[in-house]
Amino acid sequence: MTKLLLRLFVRGHEDASRPAVHAAIGSLAGVTGIVCNGLLFLLKLLTGLMAGSVSIVADAFNNLSDAASSMITFLGFRMAQRPADKDHPYGHARSEYLAGLAIAAMILIIGMEQGRSAINKILQPGAISFSVLIFVLMVCAIVLKGWMALFFRTLSRKISSVALMATAIDCRNDVVATSAVLLGCLTEHVTGWNIDGYIGAAVTALILWSGVSVARETVTPLLGKQPDPAMVARLKEIVLSHEAVLGIHDLLVHDYGPGHVHATVHVEMSAEQEPLVCHDIVDDIEHDVLRELNVNLVIHHDPVETNDTERSDMYALVTAIAAEVDPRCSVHDFRIVRGQERPKLVFDMTIPYDMGSRHRQLQEAVESRLAQAGKDYRLLIRFDHE
């Protein structure tokens, strides 16, 4: 079923990183969610009214909120495909994340309202009517929601969408919630214990927890999160595959929404290399990264004096000292400024985030170990994070 729906919407395109494919899969998810959740709402509402169960009715309205969420998802993916304009030069792809925030808000509102109904049911319990028909309807709802959870998870992995993964998690939670409601109905039918209100309260807690989880997942990329490690590793591999590249550093990745990733990096090449040759190499690397990873890469060329013996020796020594201080530290942009009584070593030191308050101690440690090695240099260290 999933493959059939993908063929209908994606129309044979295979590259999931393409904006058109991303939009087509987002539209598929939205339409599927609207139809399935609408059917589930009617099915559970009818079942809840027949049984007189507040927990089933609560679960039905949770599916109604899911249908509205799917509509927002559909619109969010559509808005995300709007081209860049004067006010939004990087496009509108983050609309997908904003859609996720709206979904989270709806889930929380519905959860609070159903919590009120559950409390009333606990305070004023009423008998629940149960039959084979109600049991069959509930099982059908669980099966359909389980398929939806797998479906949305498949789509989210295909296009790396946090919004669709959040929807898949929400569907999984609904399976648990509906199963709990069915368990409550069976318990009262078999034992006579009326725990419908308490089951409704548990369902409410699950809805609220789901809303908070969705909000957290969508806020993180808006605030700026770590890029995909696999993408970063492959990007570095592409850059370093060029023989003229001696090293890279200061890689920065900016996510403006799915399919709209920009990056900058400093690339070290021999200072003896012709500038025009270096420029051509940089152009080739940027083109390769865009073609394979769909990442808009901008490269800053750093010339390196490869024939300066003193620089090479001091670079090796300082690199070893930095690793000795902490194996996670590294050194780049290293040069010697001469023409003064005491030559100066100027370089950047990359450190982990948890060492951000130790700049002075790190500098003093490097100075001390250089002195122990009999090296008389002044230091100018710029610290940045890994």
Q: Cα–Cα distance between 340 and 296 in angstroms, integer?
A: 42
Region 238-254: mean pLDDT is 88
Q: What pLDDT does 128 receive?
A: 59
Q: What pLDDT does 13 receive?
A: 47
Q: Which CATH architecture has domain 308-386?
A: 2-Layer Sandwich (3.30)
Kindly report the backbone phi and psi dihedral angles of residue 349, in degrees, each rounded to the nearest multiple of 5, phi listed first: -120, 120
- Express as a percent the part of the chain with pLDDT over 70: 89
Residue 6 has pLDDT above 60, yes or no: no
Average pLDDT over the chain reads: 80
Region 240-246: mean pLDDT is 89
Q: Cα–Cα distance between 227 and 230 in angstroms, integer?
A: 9
pLDDT-derived band of residue 339, with 50, 70 and 90 as boundaries? confident
Residue 202 has pLDDT above 70, yes or no: yes
The predicted-structure confidence for 26-46, as pLDDT tens digits, reads as follows 778 888 888 888 888 888 788
Instruction: Tell me, yes or no, if the two domains 226-305 and 308-386 fold the same way.
Output: yes
Task: Give 25 or 340, the one with higher predicted confidence.
Answer: 25
Stated pTM of the model: 0.60
- Express as a percent the part of the chain with pLDDT over 90: 8
Q: What pLDDT does 237 receive?
A: 92
Q: Where are the domains of the chain?
A: 2-223, 226-305, 308-386
pLDDT-derived band of residue 239, with 50, 70 and 90 as boundaries? very high
Residue 82 has pLDDT above 60, yes or no: yes
Query: Which of these, 259, 214, 22, 207, lies nearest to 100 by C-alpha position?
Result: 214
> Which superfamily does CATH assign the domain made up of 226-305 to?
Cation efflux protein, cytoplasmic domain (3.30.70.1350)
The predicted-structure confidence for 261-295, as pLDDT tens digits, reads as follows 899 999 988 888 888 999 999 999 999 999 888 89
Q: What pLDDT does 234 receive?
A: 93
CATH code for the structural domain at 2-223: 1.20.1510.10
Region 50-65: mean pLDDT is 72
Q: Cα–Cα distance between 158 and 29 in angstroms, integer?
A: 12
